[in-house]
Amino acid sequence: GAGVSQSPSNKVTEKGKDVELRCDPISGHTALYWYRQSLGQGLEFLIYFQGNSAPDKSGLPSDRFSAERTGGSVSTLTIQRTQQEDSAVYLCASTSGVETQYFGPGTRLLVL
Amino acid sequence: GENVEQHPSTLSVQEGDSAVIKCTYSDSASNYFPWYKQELGKGPQLIIDIRSNVGEKKDQRIAVTLNKTAKHFSLHITETQPEDSAVYFCAASRNNNDMRFGAGTRLTVKP
């Protein structure tokens, strides 16, 4: 079946602009995660959605970062007033809660 | 919260040799330990996982061991091949919630 998809695959933006990154989880998965991966680094947890519960935003690095999950499915990660240090790969993962997390291919963000 | 440490950060082996990557975790309540392989330009992909009621699990050339008392778990790859070259991540979680990842190990298999 279809896996986790993310769009765009690559995004180049200018410093100060806002960007939106999209994640389509596996159908039926109740939990969705966003991670950030800087070049050559590990996975930095950003935010976690579980069903209709309030999201766990404890990993968001600043108030410029926000995320929504509409209808319990698609999620959008928004970065306002982007900075060069925001350049990274943004990964989305979903899970049914019983199985492991399945990752999308990521969005490579470059802030010039 | 959970803290996962992973060693080594880089590992280079000759084709056909074995590779071992080790991780430790801090939360004794963690009960699910997956391993992911990330190839260049792709998202991490699950390769094997183990739950706390099992001490060892094997899938062809890949095996994982878990020592709950010592709070460490390891990935073993035997008969390594060049296509095993990638970054490997360990992770630990409680009931698949709040999963925390190690920093990753870059494995290079030399032909």
**What is the predicted pLDDT for the residue at A99?**
65
Contact A75, A32 (CB under 8 A): yes
pLDDT 10s digits, B17-66: 999 999 999 999 999 999 999 998 899 999 999 988 889 999 999 999 99
The C-alpha atoms of residue A46 and residue A13 are separated, in whole angstroms, by 21
- pLDDT-derived band at A108 (thresholds 50, 70, 90) equals very high
Residue in A101, A102, A106 closest to B99 by CB: A101
The confidence band for B99, taking pLDDT boundaries of 50, 70 and 90, is confident
Q: How confident is the model at residue B96 (pLDDT cuts 50, 70, 90)?
A: low
A109 falls in which pLDDT band (50, 70, 90)? very high
**What confidence score (pLDDT) does residue B54 get?**
81
CA distance A42 to chain B (A): 4
| Contact between A103 and B44 using a beta-carbon 8 Å cutoff | yes
Residues of B in contact with A97 (CB under 8 A): 95-97
Report how many Cβ contacts below 8 Å link chain A to chain B.
Answer: 50
List of chain A residues whose C-beta atoms are within 8 Å of the C-beta of residue B36: 103
* pLDDT confidence of residue A51: 86
SS (H, E, C) A29-44: CCEEEEEEECCCCCCE
